[in-house]
């Protein structure tokens, strides 16, 4: 029997399972919707899909670097709790994701999840793991960093929560690792002032001017105050402008100059950044139940 797109759509709407799982279930049952639903539920695919709407803001950041220090990938794999983030099955899955990302030099989640391990796609392995563990698990992002000609990449991982990869030209292994550690600690937004968007800088100027005007000082004094604060702001948000964490008496820019090196780019991942976690208020929850809400 020919499996149509509308049949797959209907099964997805009923079970919440992925498109490929639904198509496979219909093929195996020769288009029998009821049996396909039953099989998906037995396999845990339908159960796993229902968990996909839950917030997964915990997890782990992992980094893999090629042996020649020319390529590195970062991946963030999320789950719902710190307990699962330490689970051996979860960690084994993240290792599979990381290996697939480095092998394919992937820069997107879709490429990684379509990779096969022992005849199964990583997406199907993820679905099975969700059903087994009972939490929503998502591969949130993948980032590839490649060295420029004559350069190298280096990395630093702070536990399971922060991972950094830095690409440099010039310098050496020690320098690139120190820079990665610095980025993990200081969290700069940009490499240098030139990368700061004009709109962001203009907005900051407007805020600083408004603050300075409240002081009642003359316009020429305000202009000097704002100029100084802008320089301080740029030093805080740019890697080169920051004071080096291992030697606060020197800036990163001076360190690079002394080592005859330059930073091409950096990537910093932190677990769950930008994801809004649900905070349970158990007192309110109990009160609501007591009121019959």
pLDDT band at 290 (very low <50, low <70, confident <90, very high): very low
What fold characterizes domain 5-51?
A: Helicase, Ruva Protein; domain 3 (1.10.8)
Least confident of 19-28, 98-107, 142-151: 19-28
Q: Is the pLDDT of residue 109 over 90?
A: yes
Q: What is the DSSP string of the chain?
A: -PPPHHHHHHHHHHH---HHHHHHHHHHTTT-HHHHHHHHHHHTHHHHHHHTTS---EEEEEEEE-TTSSEEEEEEEEES-HHHHT-HHHHHHHHHHHHHHHHHT--SHHHHHT-EETTEEHHHHHHHHHHHH-S--EEEEEEEEEPPTTEEEEEEEETTTEEEEEEEESS-HHHHHHHHHHHHHH--SBSSGGGS-HHHHHHHHHHHHHHHHTTT--HHHHHHHHHHHHHHHHHHHBTTTSEETTEEEEEHHHHHHHTT-EEEEEEEEETTTT-------HHHHHHHHHTT-
Q: The domain at 148-192+242-273 falls in which architecture? A: 2-Layer Sandwich (3.30)
pLDDT band at 222 (very low <50, low <70, confident <90, very high): confident
288 versus 180: the higher-pLDDT residue is 180
Judge if 5-51 and 148-192+242-273 fold alike in CATH terms.
no
pLDDT band at 286 (very low <50, low <70, confident <90, very high): very low
Percent of the chain topping pLDDT 70: 87
Least confident of 28-37, 142-151, 249-258: 28-37
Q: In the chain, where are the structural domains located? A: 5-51, 54-146, 148-192+242-273, 197-237
pLDDT at 284: 55
């Amino acid at each position: 029997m020919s499996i149509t797109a509308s049949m797959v759509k209907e099964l997805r709407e009923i079970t919440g399972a992925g498109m490929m799982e639904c198509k496979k279930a219909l093929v195996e049952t020769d288009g029998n919707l009821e049996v396909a639903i039953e099989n998906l539920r037995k396999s845990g695919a339908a159960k796993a899909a229902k968990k996909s709407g839950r917030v997964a803001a915990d997890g782990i950041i992992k980094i893999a670097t090629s042996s020649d220090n020319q390529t590195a990938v970062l991946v963030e794999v999320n789950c719902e709790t710190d307990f699962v983030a330490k689970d051996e099955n979860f960690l084994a899955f993240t290792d599979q994701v990381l290996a697939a990302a480095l092998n394919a030099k992937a820069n997107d989640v879709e490429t990684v999840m379509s990779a096969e391990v022992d005849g199964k796609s990583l997406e199907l392995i993820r679905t099975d793991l969700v059903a087994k563990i009972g939490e929503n698990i998502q591969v949130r992002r993948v980032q590839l960093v490649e060295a420029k000609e004559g350069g190298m990449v280096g990395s630093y991982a702070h536990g399971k929560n922060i991972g950094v990869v830095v690409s440099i030209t010039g310098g050496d292994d020690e320098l690139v690792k120190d820079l990665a550690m610095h980025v993990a600690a200081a969290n700069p937004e940009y490499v240098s002032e030139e990368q700061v968007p004009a709109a962001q800088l203009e907005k900051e100027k407007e805020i600083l001017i408004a603050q300075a005007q409240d002081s009642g000082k003359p316009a020429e004094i305000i202009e000097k105050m704002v100029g100084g604060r802008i320089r301080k702001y740029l030093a805080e948000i740019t890697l080169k402008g920051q004071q080096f964490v291992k030697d606060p008496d020197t800036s990163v820019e001076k360190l690079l100059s002394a080592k005859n090196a330059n930073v091409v780019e950096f990537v910093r991942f932190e677990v769950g950044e930008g994801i809004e976690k649900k905070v349970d208020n158990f007192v309110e929850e109990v009160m609501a139940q007591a009121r019959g809400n």
